[in-house]
Chain A
Amino acid sequence: MSIFVDENTSVIYQGLTGSQGSYYGRLNAEYGTRIVAGTHPKKAGTEVDGVPIYANVGEAVEATGATASCIFIPAPGVRGAVMESAEGGVEFIVAITEGVPAHDEAYFYNDLKRNFPDVRLLGPNCPGIISPGKCNIGITAGHIAKPGGPVGIVSRSGTLTYQALYELKQKDIGVTTCVGIGGDPVPGTSFIDCLEAFEADPDTRAVMMIGEIGGSAEEEAAEFIKNNMTKPVSCYIAGVTAPPGKKMGHAGAIVSGGKGTAAAKMEALADAGAQVGQNPTEAGELMARIVAEL
């Protein structure tokens, strides 16, 4: 099993006609992802690599029964594209685009929560999601992931997501699903959402988590691990030696309440029983030891 996406997930690509969308759409299709439609308001009726283009997500869902969408639309159009997907009837939205204003993210996060509570958004500014051997939505290179299990990965950083997949493949360890949640201020899917899903997935027996400095998402994840996870977790927090990030004035400092440093995050995770590596390689080695003892 896997979480959020599998071999039956059928996907609409918003922006499939663009240079990024067509490039990664082709790679995802070659991997085996079921790409059933693309959308473009003015190119309905045309095709990209044999994939039919519809005017909008609603029409594409009606024609194909797609359950997921992937957004490769430039930042100014992302807010509209996310809501178009939700209104069009998909259950799972992956927004790859970077550079989306924080106010837009806060707006569509709350709009979805209120009006489309069953829709899951992943991103924006994320590498996407891969259930190795089944489905790859986004910009992860499929061949660096070994299919199977028993490890689930959740990561806030793009390239470190690849690094984590690679570390495990080097050790011949398979992955059920790897979720890149993205590092923006208001991610649609959180660490906790993924940890919860991995905890419930019978084929995932351990979880590798990659965090970054800033915000308090890792501390919140640590709380969840402590209280709700029975499966072992290894983790790494990037930015151990980074100078304190730009402090967002006095109000920002209060919101974070002294949280946000790598040291605070690592301590919280260690207290919660997670195994904390000092770099991605060490986190991979810790996971190899965990897997050997499963």
Chain B
Amino acid sequence: MDLFEHQGKEFFARYGMPVSPGEAVFSVDEAVAAAERLGTPVMVKAQIHAGGRGKAGGVKYAADIDAVREHAGNIFGLDIKGHIVERIWIEKASDIAEEYYASFTLDRSAKMHLGMLSKEGGIEIETVAEENPDAIAKTWIDPVDGLTDEACRAWVAAANLPEAAFEGTVEIMKLLYTAYDEGDADLVEINPLILTPEGKMHVLDAKVTLDANSVFRHEDYAQYDATQPRDEREQAAHAKGLQYVGLEGSVGVIANGAGLAMSTVDVVSQAGGNAANFLDIGGGANADVMAGALEVINHDPSVKSIFINIFGGITRGDEVANGIIEAMRRVAIDSPIVIRLDGTNAEEGRVILAPNLDEKLMMEPTMLDAARRAVELAS
């Protein structure tokens, strides 16, 4: 789950990290009112789930209220990498002496947590990694030990920050690790972490991704789930508890298991077509789940044919077949359906489907045959 910057700052503040006061607003009038409460100068910052906001004109300094009105007016509705700006964060402006970069994430290869710190902040860290890799100090953290005081100091020292920044950075890195660890984050990133002219460390940006699997111990994370960017189709599928990702093509895909669903999208492409979606109905494809999946796909106007690809492991083919027939009774499906059914009780499933087969419901013996047929019907 990706957090907006302002949600990330609220998250950081809970762990005692220094962030600026601010307000999230949804209209120009709200922006002006917030700036009046906070007192100018303020920063006017677009809130989207993507980087590159500054370059796209989504982050502006406003010296007075007129500037707030002007910038907010320009930023609302701005299209940044396909994300339309609908919320803005108004924040008290800070004086900056230096800008640094700091993050924690899981290094899947090392199977440990990785901390990265650099005095080259405020610019894209990929650029630093490419042009000046030595400017990034890295520390690998065994989760059993956590980030010890000793390791944290050695790591911050390796980043070669000015002396004025050292103690403050050590303090913030410990808090950031606690937020990462206790908050079950996939990523916490501060860019920039600033040193003010008064010699104080301050968090000026926040990028936080939380682990959706951890919500059982973080009930308040439901608020973040509610603000995830989803198109209409994805929202409908999410409400039904289906694993769905919208794509651009015309063949609707339903499969059991994420790997098989991905593989189904692959074979549709190899057959010369394009999948309209990735949809994993998981194990135990009963009538309710199948009906829900067909409903979601049926609502997608770009779908011209539907490919149901089921491999019965523990899921039984006869139950899947009954599920499809029951689902078609409940939902009027516009596009023709091609089914590939294999594995456990596939033969029984095929017998159940046989009397129902017509030009709207077809069966093919293999995954590749079914992909070819579905693509043919979609073109």
Q: What residues make up the interface of A, taking CB atoms closer than 8 Å to B? A: 24, 27, 75-76, 99-103, 106-107, 109-111, 114, 127, 139-141, 143-144, 155-163, 166, 183, 185-186, 210, 212-213, 215-217, 220, 236, 238-243, 246, 248-256, 278-281
B214 touches A242 (CB 8 A): no
Q: Does B69 contact A (CB under 8 A)?
A: no
B259 touches A160 (CB 8 A): yes
In the assembled complex, which residues on chain A have CB atoms less than 8 Å from the CB atom of B269?
240-241
In the assembled complex, which residues on chain B have CB atoms less than 8 Å from the CB atom of A212?
258-259, 262
Q: How many interface residues does B have (CB within 8 Å)?
A: 63
**A186→B142 CA distance, assembly (Å):** 13
B residues 94-124 near A (Cβ < 8 Å) are 103-109, 111-114, 116, 124
Interface stretch (choices B28-36, B182-190, B292-300): B182-190
| Most chain B CB neighbours (cut-off 10 Å) among A186, A236, A239, A249 | A249
Q: What residues make up the interface of B, taking CB atoms closer than 8 Å to A? A: 2, 51, 103-109, 111-114, 116, 124-126, 129, 142-144, 181, 184, 186-187, 189, 191, 207, 209, 211, 213-214, 216-217, 245, 247, 255-260, 262-263, 265-270, 275, 278, 283, 311-314, 342-344, 366-368
In the assembled complex, which residues on chain B have CB atoms less than 8 Å from the CB atom of A114?
142, 144
| Most chain B CB neighbours (cut-off 10 Å) among A103, A114, A240, A242 | A103
B186 touches A102 (CB 8 A): yes
A162 touches B114 (CB 8 A): no
A76 touches B114 (CB 8 A): no
Closest 3 CB pairs of A and B: A157-B259, A159-B257, A160-B259
**A102→B114 CA distance, assembly (Å):** 14
B191 touches A103 (CB 8 A): no
B187 touches A249 (CB 8 A): yes
Distance to closest chain A CB from B366 (angstroms): 7
In the assembled complex, which residues on chain B have CB atoms less than 8 Å from the CB atom of A279?
263, 266-267, 270, 367-368
**A159→B269 CA distance, assembly (Å):** 20
| Most chain A CB neighbours (cut-off 10 Å) among B181, B270, B366 | B270
Identify which of A159, A213, A220, A248 contacts B256 (C-beta below 8 A): A159
Q: Which residue of A lies closest to B109 (CB)?
A: A216
Say whether, besides A144-B344, A239-B262, A281-B368, A250 and B108 are in contact (CB < 8 Å).
no
**A248→B124 CA distance, assembly (Å):** 14
B187 touches A103 (CB 8 A): no
**A250→B205 CA distance, assembly (Å):** 13
Identify which of B114, B124, B255 contacts A255 (C-beta below 8 A): B114
Identify which of A166, A186, A242, A280 contacts B343 (C-beta below 8 A): A166
**A236→B198 CA distance, assembly (Å):** 57
B259 touches A249 (CB 8 A): no
**A280→B211 CA distance, assembly (Å):** 31
**A96→B209 CA distance, assembly (Å):** 25
**A238→B263 CA distance, assembly (Å):** 5
Distance to closest chain B CB from A183 (angstroms): 7
